[in-house]
Chain A
Amino acid sequence: MSNNKKKKLTPTQQEYQQLAQRIEPKRPVLKNCLKAFLIGGLICLVGQCIQMSFVEWGGFDKKEAGNPTVAILILISVILTGLGVYDKIAQWAGAGSAVPVTGFANSMASAAIEHRAEGLVLGVGGKMFKLAGPVIVFGVVAAFVIGILHMIFNPELAAGGGK
């Protein structure tokens, strides 16, 4: 907890928080990292196999195979979400199943299923990006900032402009 926040607490509250913190079971961070590494890696391995299959049998080159690979991973994730399995896997895998593209697909599919009862427009349409929205917003903002930095510090651009 930040010091700023701590200042607002009374001494009794601070004392209590110390007691509570001593008793609370901590998140097993190291174990969670290991699990995330294993499952996250496994998802990437599956993705790699799909991509290689497209190159081997689909007649795609390596770059072209990227898009259909992602589409298949998303499809698998959405199906697992619909079957009610993805959240079970996630409780074990943590960041391993949240960070890859499958996690992004899960966040949208789960919100869409959840809010279906509120109708197609305000429910599914409106609430689908409830969790994925921030990722997109801040992803775009970050890309914009990096783009500007790239323009400023890129020696080729900085030297002569549109050479």
Chain B
Amino acid sequence: MLQGTQSWSFKNKPSILSTAAVVGPFEGQGPLANDFDRIHGELMLGQESWEKAERALLEESTQLACEKANVRKEQVQFLLAGDLMDQITSSSFAASTLGIPFLGLFGACSTSMESLALAALFVNSGAAHYALAATCSHNATAEKQFRYPTEYGSQKPPTAQYTVTGSGAALVSDKGIGGPHVTAATIGRVIDMGISDPFNMGAAMAPAAVDTIEAHFRDFNRLPGYYDLIITGDLSKVGHQIAIELLDKHKIPMHQTEFKDCGMMIYNYETQQVQAGASGCACSAVVTYGHLMKKVTSGELKRILVVGTGALLSPISFQQGNSIPCIAHAVAIESGVT
């Protein structure tokens, strides 16, 4: 179970029975559109407010994940979910509708992997037969809470990122045969490198991602070549480049594997105005649960390491001039296909 100093190895091979990815219209125009289960035509989703729309996204993705696995939500023991809103209201309100015993999490955009790691831990230890890991974010609610009104005309710098509207859910269980399995997880430390610009979260988060990746290899005594793909959550262009340089400086042989970032995959840089790339809880969730899981299930990717990255700031902390503490959690997913 405990492996090294900060990792878990899941010997009982909890499997991911099903995953679901639901997104908004802007994400539906991007290059991964075909991998998402549902694309909404409008940001409001027919609700009265952005906040309600975000809750609806989470409800949909979790219900869809259950449907796909043919599991009734009454059979699910625990829902582990979180989001970016104050007091994680999107998750709690969605959990109230779903009626599944709920543990609320906050890891900012790393919540996708935080919840998946914990769901796998629950199942591996016998604390649950079925555990749902889910997260969501909405562009307009995040802009409203952390930045300016959506229609306000402020010029975003080239380091800014665009919050993904969407939700991703994964149903983890001990019932699955043949995989894909969650085999390992590394829980990250909070790293603060003194970046205080909320429009430059990639640079703030990159050192946290690097720290967790290094810890993972150290704990498991592995090299990057063990994985077919190592992918970070939402570092985007700036953070990804910094991460590459830092890993190189720390002599991690990343050339053995493919190293990508979810934040650089959702949108089309040519036609969509997203500056450095995507961010938000849903960013790593929809790319992993929509795009990557298809490849893992088919055996195209045998082993992947997803490193969810989160910037743990609040609107008050940055207005008071604090720097941005960041975190990253890594989860290894291995295909059952041999």
Contact = CB atoms under 8 A, between A and B. Distances in A.
What DSSP secondary structure best describes chain B's contact surface?
A: loop
Interface in B184-221: 192-195, 200, 203, 206-207
A89 interface: yes
B238 interface: yes
Contacts of B157: 27
A114 interface: yes
A20 interface: yes
A97 interface: yes
A17 B242 CA distance: 11
Nearest to A127: B149
A25 B155 contact: no
Nearest to A8: B194
A69 B113 CA distance: 55
A27 B158 CA distance: 6
B194 A17 contact: yes
Contacts, number: 103
B155 A111 contact: no
A68 interface: no
B156, B193, B195, B245: residue with the most chain A Cβ atoms closer than 10 Å: B193
Interface in A22-37: 23-28, 32
A23 B241 contact: yes
A89 to B, nearest CB: 7
A13, A16, A17, A109: residue with the most chain B Cβ atoms closer than 10 Å: A16
B102 interface: no
B56 to A, nearest CB: 14
Given A87-B150, A87-B151, A23 B49 contact: no
Contact of B158 (A16, A25, A94, A98): A25
Contacts of B273: 88, 91
Nearest to B52: A117
B241 A109 contact: no
Contact of A13 (B151, B194, B242, B276): B194
Interface in A60-92: 81-82, 84, 86-91
Contact of B153 (A17, A32, A106): A106
B194 A114 contact: no
B241 A110 contact: no
B94 to A, nearest CB: 18
Contact of B149 (A16, A95, A111): A111
B194 A107 contact: no
B151 A81 contact: yes
Contacts of B48: 117
B142 to A, nearest CB: 12
Given A9-B194, A19-B242, A19-B246, A86 B153 contact: yes
A17 B193 contact: yes
Nearest to B321: A5
A103 interface: yes
Contact of B152 (A12, A20, A107): A107
A131 interface: yes
A87 B203 contact: no
A19 B245 CA distance: 9
B144 interface: yes
B51 interface: yes
Interface string B154-183: 111111000000000000000000000000
B318 interface: no
Nearest to B240: A23
Contact of B193 (A13, A28, A98, A103): A13
Nearest to B48: A117
B269 interface: no
Contact of B155 (A24, A84, A86, A91): A91
B152 A131 contact: yes
Given A20-B203, A131-B149, A91 B242 contact: no
Given A9-B194, A23-B238, A117-B48, A16 B207 contact: yes
B252 to A, nearest CB: 16
Contact of A114 (B144, B158, B238): B144
B226 interface: no
B188 to A, nearest CB: 17
Given A19-B246, A91-B273, A117-B51, A25 B152 contact: no
B242 A20 contact: yes
B194 A89 contact: no
A82 B203 CA distance: 34
Interface of B: 48-51, 144, 148-159, 192-195, 200, 203, 206-207, 237-238, 241-242, 245-246, 273, 276
10 contacts: A17-B193, A19-B242, A20-B242, A87-B150, A88-B273, A90-B154, A91-B273, A110-B153, A114-B149, A114-B150
